Amino acid sequence: MNQVLQVRNLGKIYGPGCPHCFESTGPEAHTNLCPHCDSVIAIHDVSLDLHEGEILGIMGESGSGKSTVVKALYFDQAPSAGEAIFFDAEKQHALFNLNTAQQRWLRNFRFGMVYQHPHQGLNFNITAGGNIAERLLMSDLMDYNAIRARAKALLTRMEVLLSRIDDRPKNFSGGMQQRVQIAKALATRPPLLFLDEVTSGLDLSVQARILDLILEIQQELKTAMIVVTHDLGVIRLLTGRAIVMKYGRVIEAGLTDQILEDPQHAYTQQLVASAL
């Protein structure tokens, strides 16, 4: 399996930062707020690898920094430290050395992002079909009929009724909004997809359908994915490997079944033991 992504020593600090930030924060210090300079060490020293067609889970409680990792990789927030290489066929892109135009190009053509809140990923003022068209227009597709056909195919694939294609997503249920968001993210068939708590807050039955669709798509398109979630059920069903974060640091990484059945770190043991 080919490598898709290599991330090394990723860090993000909100605030001025000081020489004591890293030693004064993290799981042992039980905080990510530096007591010396009041900076928030959102993430520090995060490294990970992702291969083609693989789903990697990032688990942890809120405030652990798990979303910050994907936001940095998707260029939503510039990191303070670290590097990431995206392997795209024969090309290699050092993500944080690219200029804004190059980053935008990767976001539009090669990456996809599905946010927890549909309004972050969708434009609620235009129709479901328009949302997908918008992403296709930013990439290569320019022909109206081709765009319309692609939007229909994607919405059908995500089990959104075609009769709703010209409705605005603000009138959709939460589960349907999330399906439109996934369709939009997949519109350009990206080899790398980020999913940030995509099923949190949805009914269990709706959640199951969405997870199922995500897995089918991963098998069909061989999309590599990073799934951020606090839900151990989602981790177990979707991912092959996982990393566990706490106060901005990776405290454990391994095969998903190993992390769930033989967790090494005290915190992971607690997390797994307290799951329903």
Partner 1 sequence: MAPTILRVEGYGKQFQLHEQRKRIPSSHNVHFTVRAGELTALIGPTGAGKSSVLKGVYRTYLPSAGRILYRDARGHELDLALASEHQILELRRREIGFVTQFLHCLPRQATLDVVAQPLFTLGVARPEARRRAAELLSAMHLPERLWSISPAMFSGGERQRVNLARGFIAKPRLLLLDEPTASLDPITAECVIDLITGLKAEGAALLAIFHHPETIRRLADQVIELALPPVVEECLEDAA
The answer to whether residue 30 forms part of the interface with partner 1 (CB under 8 A) is no
Helix (H, G, I), strand (E, B) or coil at 213: helix
The answer to whether residue 270 forms part of the interface with partner 1 (CB under 8 A) is yes
The answer to whether residue 8 forms part of the interface with partner 1 (CB under 8 A) is no
Rg (CA), the chain: 19
Q: 117 or 236, CB closer to partner 1?
A: 236
Q: What is the dihedral of CA 19, 20, 22, 26, to 10 degrees?
A: -170
Distance between CA atoms of 275 and 260, rounded to whole angstroms?
10
Distance between CA atoms of 271 and 251, rounded to whole angstroms?
12
- According to CB under 8 A, which residues from 219 to 238 bind partner 1? 219, 236-237
DSSP bridge partners of 81: 11
**Residues 208, 221, 230, 272: which binds partner 1 (CB under 8 A)?**
208
Helix (H, G, I), strand (E, B) or coil at 106: helix
Q: 32 or 268, CB closer to partner 1?
A: 268
Cα–Cα separations (whole angstroms), residue 112 to 183, 217, 237: 10, 13, 21
Q: What is the dihedral of CA 108, 240, 86, 95, to 10 degrees?
A: 80
Q: 80 or 229, CB closer to partner 1?
A: 229
Q: 245 or 251, CB closer to partner 1?
A: 251
DSSP class of residue 96 equals G
The answer to whether residue 252 forms part of the interface with partner 1 (CB under 8 A) is no
Name the one range near partner 1 by CB under 8 A: 16-24, 133-141, 153-161, 267-275: 267-275
How many CB atoms lie under 10 A from the CB of residue 121? 23
Q: 163 or 274, CB closer to partner 1?
A: 274
Tokens representing residue 181 in the block: 């968001």
**Residues 89, 163, 261, 276: which binds partner 1 (CB under 8 A)?**
261
Q: 145 or 274, CB closer to partner 1?
A: 274
**Residues 9, 97, 120, 264: which binds partner 1 (CB under 8 A)?**
264
Q: Which residues bind partner 1 (CB under 8 A)?
A: 1, 49, 51, 54, 205, 208-209, 211-212, 215, 219, 236-237, 240-241, 254-255, 257-258, 261-262, 264-266, 269-270, 273
